[in-house]
Amino acid sequence: QLQLVESGGGLVQPGGSLRLSCVGSGFSLEDYVIAWFRQAPGKERQGVSCISTSEGFTNNANFVAGRFTISGDNAKNTVYLQMNSLQPTDTAVYYCAATNDYRLGCSISWEYEYWGQGTQVTVSS
């Protein structure tokens, strides 16, 4: 009943941009902390960014370095990940995840219990 569905992935050239979407159903994303993770083949899952829309709080991995921005649209029950200046090292399957952890703020180091199916991002010439 609680679902997360990612979309917006695709093939882009280095330096290009993509906006990923994570649409929630069966629950309000305002009541959860939402995070984006990514995983490249043969590598460990890596936290990217998180948001607590009810608090207006976001947190990011160090490698983001201002290139990625997480945001939410409560009316659409959707969280976005705007990715700019993409590089081949950003190639991965990107997942959104949710937790109803009661702590304030958010952290990509937290455990997330609900996961989407992922969307492929490929950065290549």
* Angstrom distance (rounded) from CA 113 to CA 91: 24
User: What phi and psi, each to the nearest 5 degrees, are found at residue 49?
Assistant: -160, 155
Quote the distance between the C-alpha of residue 94 and its chain's center.
7
Residue 115's pLDDT is what?
Answer: 97
| 74-84: b (≥16 Cβ within 10 Å) or e | eeebbbbbebe
pLDDT of residue 34: 96
Residues in the chain predicted with pLDDT less than 70, given as ranges, are: none
pLDDT for the residue 27: 87
8 residue type, one letter: G
What's the confidence (pLDDT) of residue 22?
97
